[in-house]
């Protein structure tokens, strides 16, 4: 990412699809075509790990750091691959327009997944690639498939409430469960294989079109996950295997009471003893699917906000140091180019910036943040931009640019915006003006949320930090991207030397 380029931030779920949720099939390929026609270089997505209804389908609260969200599997590609017949997907629920109904999607996908797996078993399809996939990924796939099957068996109860012999992973007890749950376990492996196959096809299509894919690694993992159950020694758990302290961030721009994420915190000394092997595997696995990856909450590698388990919010916490330099040194030795983006938003201290600079990583800047204080000194203002950064008009946690001016911006922020731009700008026209500022900046890389490219308002926001209901649902509508959008973005990209 050392040359000038630009791209688009759009999660897979937000693609238009007649099957209720964006997927890895024709709708994703059409979006790659749009990116190519618009002279873009990058497509950035949110984490692709499994989501759950209990966690509001947040991609940042997953049951696995290694598995993938099988709801993103394309029904059309399943037909093309021979796993379904065309009439299996002819009857589709009346999904809502412009929003994802995750409950309805889960019911529909489970029906066709069961059809596909039953047919796979009955016809005894010979799939050498499937067995290769299971063998090559057994180091995480076996535990994940067992965890998911046990989660269904115990009806969503926290793994720490499972029978002691299962909770404590006694070998004989696990072997017995593997036998009794074999069909469910094998089905989970089958679905992970389908995702893998479809993603590889999409990635190859993106390569041919000149589009690099940017992934996203949440720094923490969910407590109720295969990772914590499998590797409890790597996390700060008590004698009952419950979290002693949890992750979050103190009060900031996004929330007056901070954000209480409730993820278990790492026992960094244990990671260091193992040479950070779990982290190396995690990054290596991610980079097998993406060209670059963003590390969410990068500052947690330097110091993290520790909150006692049971607190109602994140106000009463403390900063604790983490071995970020040691971890990144090991990563650098394993991955020479270290294709990472450091998410360094929020409360950033000099030691965080020093670590980012020491390893030559691009940090993140968000233009709208320039107006939360004096733009003359803000690192987010275009005139203060440095080349080695990724500049956004907004992220998945921000209001859309139009929605910000219409509803979120304070009178002081609006005044600073007018002073900086030199004139009054309507909310309808602001997204295009802010995009132009981003594209003409010296930042090597500019990433634009699709909502801003389309000039959408606040109802199209992806997430409101500090809330846990009603997020992650926005979805594009059919034909929302017209040829004018593509031509306009391509022309701006060319003018500002980002083709």
Residues identified as active-site: 296, 343, 397
325/322 Cα distance (integer angstroms): 9
373/392 Cα distance (integer angstroms): 18
204/200 Cα distance (integer angstroms): 6
Q: Which residue has the tokens 């299509």?
A: 205
409/395 Cα distance (integer angstroms): 16
The alpha carbon dihedral of 26, 27, 32, 36 has a sign of positive
DSSP sequence for 16-65:
--TTSS--SSHHHHHHHHHHHHTT--EEE----S---GGGTT-TTS-S-S
495/499 Cα distance (integer angstroms): 9
Counting Cα atoms < 13 Å in the Cβ hemisphere of 391 gives: 29
Q: Which two tokens stand for residue 94?
A: 């009346």
Residues 241, 167: contact at Cβ < 8 Å?
A: yes
Query: 410-447: string of b/e by CB count within 10 Å (b at 16+)?
Result: eeebeebbeebeeeebebeebbbebbebbbebebbbbb
3-state helix, strand, coil in the chain (%, to 5): 45, 10, 40
DSSP sequence for 409-432:
--HHHHHHHHHHHTS---TTTHHH
Residue of 73, 44, 46, 43 whose CA lies nearest to 62:
46
SS3 239: coil
Query: 184-194: string of b/e by CB count within 10 Å (b at 16+)?
Result: bbbbbbbbbbb
Residues 443, 366: contact at Cβ < 8 Å?
A: no
Which residues, in sequence order, are CB contacts of 206 under 8 Å at separation 6+? 32, 43, 212, 213
SS3 457: coil
19/38 Cα distance (integer angstroms): 26
Pairing status of strand 259-264 against strand 245-249: antiparallel
Q: Which two tokens stand for residue 374?
A: 């004096």
């Amino acid at each position: 990412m050392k040359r000038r380029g630009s791209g688009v931030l759009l999660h897979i779920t937000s693609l238009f699809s007649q099957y209720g949720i964006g997927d890895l099939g024709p709708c994703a390929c059409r979006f790659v075509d749009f990116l190519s026609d618009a002279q873009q270089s990058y497509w950035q997505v949110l984490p692709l790990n499994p989501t759950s209804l209990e966690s509001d389908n947040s991609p940042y609260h997953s049951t696995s750091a290694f598995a993938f969200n099988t709801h993103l599997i394309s029904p059309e590609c399943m037909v093309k691959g021979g796993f379904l017949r065309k009439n299996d997907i002819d009857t589709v629920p009346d999904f809502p327009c412009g929003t994802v109904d995750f409950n309805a999607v889960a019911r529909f996908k489970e029906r066709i997944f069961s059809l596909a797996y039953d047919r796979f078993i009955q016809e005894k399809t010979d799939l050498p690639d499937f067995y290769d996939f299971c063998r090559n990924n057994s180091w995480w796939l076996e535990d994940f498939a067992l965890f998911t099957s046990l989660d269904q068996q115990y009806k969503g109860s926290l793994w720490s409430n499972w029978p002691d012999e299962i909770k404590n992973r006694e070998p004989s007890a696990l072997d017995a469960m593997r036998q009794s749950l074999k069909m469910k376990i094998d089905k989970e492996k089958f679905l992970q294989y389908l995702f893998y196959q479809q993603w590889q096809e999409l990635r190859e299509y993106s390569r041919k079109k000149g589009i690099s894919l940017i992934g996203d690694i949440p720094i923490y993992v969910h407590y109720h996950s295969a990772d914590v159950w499998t590797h409890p020694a790597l996390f700060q758990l008590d004698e009952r295997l419950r979290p002693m302290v949890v992750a979050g961030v103190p009060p900031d721009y996004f929330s007056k009471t901070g954000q209480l994420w409730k993820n278990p915190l790492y026992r960094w000394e244990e990671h260091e003893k193992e040479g950070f092997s779990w982290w190396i595997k995690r990054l290596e696995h991610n980079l097998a699917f993406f060209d670059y990856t963003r590390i969410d909450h990068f500052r947690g590698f330097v110091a993290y906000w520790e909150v006692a388990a049971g607190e109602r919010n994140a106000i009463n916490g403390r900063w604790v140091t983490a071995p970020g330099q040691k971890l990144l040194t090991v990563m650098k030795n394993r991955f020479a180019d270290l294709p990472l983006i450091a998410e360094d938003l929020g409360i950033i201290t000099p030691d965080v910036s020093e670590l980012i600079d020491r390893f030559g990583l691009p940090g993140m800047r968000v233009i709208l943040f320039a107006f939360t204080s004096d733009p003359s000194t803000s690192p987010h203002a275009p005139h203060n931009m440095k080349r080695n950064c990724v500049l956004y008009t907004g992220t998945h946690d921000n209001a859309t640019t139009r929605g910000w001016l219409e509803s979120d911006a304070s009178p002081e922020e609006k005044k600073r915006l007018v002073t900086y731009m030199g004139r009054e700008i309507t909310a309808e026209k602001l997204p295009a003006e802010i995009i132009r500022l981003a594209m003409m900046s010296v930042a090597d890389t500019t990433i634009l949320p699709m909502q801003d490219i389309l000039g959408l308002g606040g109802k199209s926001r992806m997430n409101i930090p500090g809330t846990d209901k009603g997020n992650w649902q926005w979805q594009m509508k059919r034909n929302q991207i017209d040829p004018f959008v593509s031509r306009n973005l391509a022309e701006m990209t060319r003018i500002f030397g980002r083709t």
